[in-house]
Structure formats: structure tokens, C-alpha cells
Amino acid sequence: MFARQNVPRYNVRMRASHLEDFYSFLRFPSISTDDNYSERVSECAHWLVGKLTGIGLKAELVPTPGHPVVWARNQHRGGRRTVLIYGHYDVQPPDPLELWDSPPFDPVLKDGYVFARGATDNKGQILSHILGIQETIEEDGELPINLHLVIEGEEEIGSANLGKFLIQNRDSLKSDVAVVSDTGMITRGVPTLSYGLRGVTALEIKVTGPKMDLHSGVFGGAVANPITALAQLLGTLHDREGRVAIAGFYDRVKSLEDWEREAWRKLPIDGDREVLKETGAPELFGEAGYNSFERLWGRPTAEINGIGGGYQGKGTKTVIASHAMAKLTFRLVPNQEGDEILKLARAHLRKNLPKGVTLDITDGHSGPWYLTDPHSPGGEAAQRALRKAFNADVALIREGGSIPIVSQFRGILGIETLLMGLALADCRAHSPNENFPLENLEGGIRLNKAVLRELAG
């Protein structure tokens, strides 16, 4: 979220074998969204099975209608707590390639940061857990808990088959808690426990006027312009202060707790200042009565993500377009429901549709919000582990993004998730020059060893 601080060159202390494992993992172009890379995705999954088997776990490849799930376990024993660790081995496409400083699947180490597609999202983070498990087995001969390690190959395309995997193996996967490192640290060196995520729901609208593009001189003023109508319609989504103007939108919103607002004010960075610095926006804008962290983590939004219509080429073409379109998403917070928000949005759009055009609405993807108690026994164990791993006070935050799988862990397996992210603010996940600091790979190894001991109780 926020820019990297100026830091001294990192002194690499990583085991040579750990670093080579990281490089090997990153060299697989495991791009799940592109069928042309299906074979390479499968090769990456097979590499993981080999790695996990090599460190002493029982590992298998579980086929799905899409890309396989890697599932690894240790020898389970009665009387021990069971922990599920989740991650994903698929990555985003590297485009645009011309903006990379080095080839995206040829990892490069520079000033303590490894640059490659997937370095942070999620290969560096899940590998730190694998290496922590490896070191614990080497040092102690066994793990202090019963382990399920689930690493999927479709997170970047919505995890369409993971829910089915969880349902089909519900009894075998029975666990006490899930651990996920696929989020971020509030700033460098500050261990962070994320206890909440916003949900998301989406729709696409199409405004249609004439049956074909028209000459704007011959017909302009006699028929409605769909692009103008779309602009007017989208303008009704917010009031001038940035508050969503859809009737009933805020009815179910759970207010922020006093302790949360106080804790976020005491975080070691100024959220308002960092948002301005990172985005380059001329000034802050958003719902009145809330600072940037509160808006990002605890308040819902309505966003226009894409818009199109009419002539887009060079120069002028005097036409009235036959139609125009826009893509919308709504970030959801406790206790909003995606289906209800879509129903309210559809009613609002139809009510405010200008004259002379028709409206088509298509629902898109959806994922629920997540909120857990950071002061629960599991949350306290996670905080102790984070302090041990990074030797610093723990930041308790929510996050503005969405990870639908954590709600599936709750809904299907009946377990809560501990989100202990290792990403830094400018990791550039999904962007050119994605990177991951080796100090966080090492920190993640320490974190895995500490959290498994803490959760063992």
C-alpha cells in the first residue's frame, strides 16, 4: 500500500539451498489464467510435491477441473492441535513485459530484494512456511502439530475449484485453525496481523439508445446520447462528499469499534500522508468523518472500474454511439451481503436512468467480507509468534482487499484464519518488477516455526 522506506543494503544470510529453492520456484511461469501455460502450471505443482516430499511430508497432487491442488501432511497424532496452512502457486501474467527491468521469470537479487513475477504473491510467502517446516523437522525430528498444507493453482482466477476440494475432503481436513500469509505488513519491520477483509461484489451495465451509431450532425439533439446518459447515471452513485447515494446501502454496516479506531491512530505511520505520497493524488477525498485507514479498512465503497463507448481512435469522428458500458464493484464490510447490495444497486440504477435509453445489467463475481477476533486464543498466539519472529510490537489491522477463501475456511471447515502477511507496501504484486525482500523470507521462516509452537499450546 505504501512506499518503501530508504533502507540500508540487506546483508544476505540466507542458506544457499533456500535461496536456490526460491529461484527454482519463481522460474515456473505458473500463469493460471492463460491456457497456453497449463503445462508449466502443472510442472510447478509437481515441483512443489517433490519439495514437500523431500522435507519429510506426505504430499500429493489432487486433480481438479482446472489446475491441481497440492496437499501435504505430516504423520497426525492424537492429542495434538491441527493447523491448516494455505497458499497458492499460480501467478498473474507478467504483462506489460517492456516495463520490467529484468525478465519476469528469471529471478534477480538486487539490494536484498528478489525481483520476479510471483515473488511476493504468493511464492515467497508460502515458501517461507515450507522452509520453516523443513527447518523444524531438521531440528526437532517432527512438527509440534498435525499439519495440512494446501497450496492451490487457481487463486489468481477466483479459486473456482478450491471450495469443491474443501467440501470433498472436509472430514480429512478437519483442523483447529488456518494460517495464511498472503497479505501485507503495515510497514517494514512491523509484524502485522490482519483480522478483517472487505468483501466485493460486481456488476456491469450497458446503456443503449439507437440501434446503430448515428451521424451527430444529422441526429444530434433528436435522440438521447447513451454516453451522456451513462455519465449522468454514474453521477448519481455518490453525493458530492463521496458518500454512496444508493438507498439502503449503509443500513447493515457494522460500526468500527472504539478500540480499533484508537489502535489504528497509534500505528507507526500516518495513513493520510502515506496515501497521498503513494498515489500522487492532489488531495484526499472520501466519506466524511473517517481518516484514510478507516475508509480503506472499515467502510464500504462503490467504484467505477471501467467505462467505454463511442469512437476511441485518433482525431474526431462525429457520431452518437449506439451504446455505452461501465463496470462497477462494491467493497463490502460487516454486515453487508453481496446479493442485497446488488439488488439495491440495480434498483437505484433503474430508478435514475435518463430518458431515451434502455439499461441492461449483468451481475459479476462476488466474495464475502471477513472479520475475526484478534484477541481470541488463536489471535493471541499469532501475536506472540509475530513478536518473536520480528522482535517488535504487532500492528492489528484490517485490509481493504478481499480473500474469499478465508470465508470458505469458516463456512466449510468451521475454522478461523490467522492472516500474517509478509508483503511490503511496494512489492508491486500484479505489476511489473514484483519483488520480495529476503529479510522477510527469513522472517517468514522464523514466523512459521514460532506460530506452530504457539498454536501447539
Q: What is the DSSP letter of 377?
A: H
Does the structure show a pLDDT above 90 at 143?
yes
pLDDT given for residue 279 in this prediction: 87
CATH code 3.30.70.360 region(s) in the chain: 199-253+300-367
Does the structure show a pLDDT above 50 at 3?
no
Q: What is the dihedral of CA 239, 244, 246, 251, to 10 degrees?
A: -130
pTM value > 0.75: yes
Q: What is the 3-state secondary structure (H, E, C) of 15-33?
A: CHHHHHHHHHHHCCCCECC
pLDDT given for residue 4 in this prediction: 47
Alpha helices in 238-291 (DSSP H): 258-265, 271-279
Alpha helices in 323-376 (DSSP H): 338-351
* Residue 75 CB neighbours (<10 A): 11
Does the structure show a pLDDT above 90 at 8?
no
The C-alpha cell of 200 is what? 466485493
- 68 in helix, strand or coil? coil
The residue that leads in pLDDT, 113 or 13, is 113
- Provide the pLDDT confidence category of residue 44 given band limits of 50, 70 and 90: very high
| Mean pLDDT of the region 189-212 | 97
pLDDT given for residue 11 in this prediction: 66
pLDDT given for residue 183 in this prediction: 94
Pairing between strand 177-180 and 417-419? parallel
The C-alpha cell of 295 is what? 475508509
* Residue 457 CB neighbours (<10 A): 11
pLDDT given for residue 1 in this prediction: 47
Alpha helices in 120-204 (DSSP H): 125-140, 162-168
Q: Among 3.30.70.360, 3.40.50.2000, 3.30.465.10, 3.30.1330.30, what is the CATH number of 199-253+300-367? A: 3.30.70.360
| C-alpha R_g of the chain | 24
The C-alpha cell of 451 is what? 506460530
The C-alpha cell of 368 is what? 464475502
- 167 in helix, strand or coil? helix
Q: What is the mean pLDDT of the chain?
A: 95
231-262 per-position pLDDT tens digit? 999 999 999 999 999 999 999 999 999 999 99
pLDDT given for residue 278 in this prediction: 83
Does the structure show a pLDDT above 80 at 308?
yes
pLDDT given for residue 10 in this prediction: 60
Residue 88 near residue 151 (C-beta atoms within 8 A)? yes
Residue 297 near residue 397 (C-beta atoms within 8 A)? yes
As beta bridge partners, residue 148 has 73, 84
Nearest to 369 by CA among 199, 191, 185: 199
* 328: CB partners within 8 A, 6+ apart: 202, 203, 204, 205, 237, 302, 303, 304, 305, 345
Q: How far apart are CA 350 and CA 87, in angstroms?
A: 41
Question: C-alpha 125: how far from its chain's center?
Answer: 13
pLDDT given for residue 124 in this prediction: 98
pLDDT given for residue 7 in this prediction: 47
pLDDT given for residue 9 in this prediction: 52
Alpha helices in 141-267 (DSSP H): 162-168, 216-219, 226-234, 258-265
pLDDT given for residue 14 in this prediction: 81
259-279 per-position pLDDT tens digit? 999 999 999 999 999 999 888
Nearest to 397 by CA among 188, 102, 194: 194
Does the structure show a pLDDT above 50 at 6?
no
Q: Among 3.40.630.10, 3.30.465.10, 3.40.50.300, 3.40.50.720, what is the CATH number of 16-197+370-456? A: 3.40.630.10
| Mean pLDDT of the region 127-156 | 97
Pairing between strand 146-152 and 301-309? unpaired
The C-alpha cell of 215 is what? 451521424
CATH code 3.40.630.10 region(s) in the chain: 16-197+370-456
pLDDT given for residue 457 in this prediction: 87
- Provide the pLDDT confidence category of residue 321 given band limits of 50, 70 and 90: very high
Nearest to 357 by CA among 225, 235, 231, 216: 225
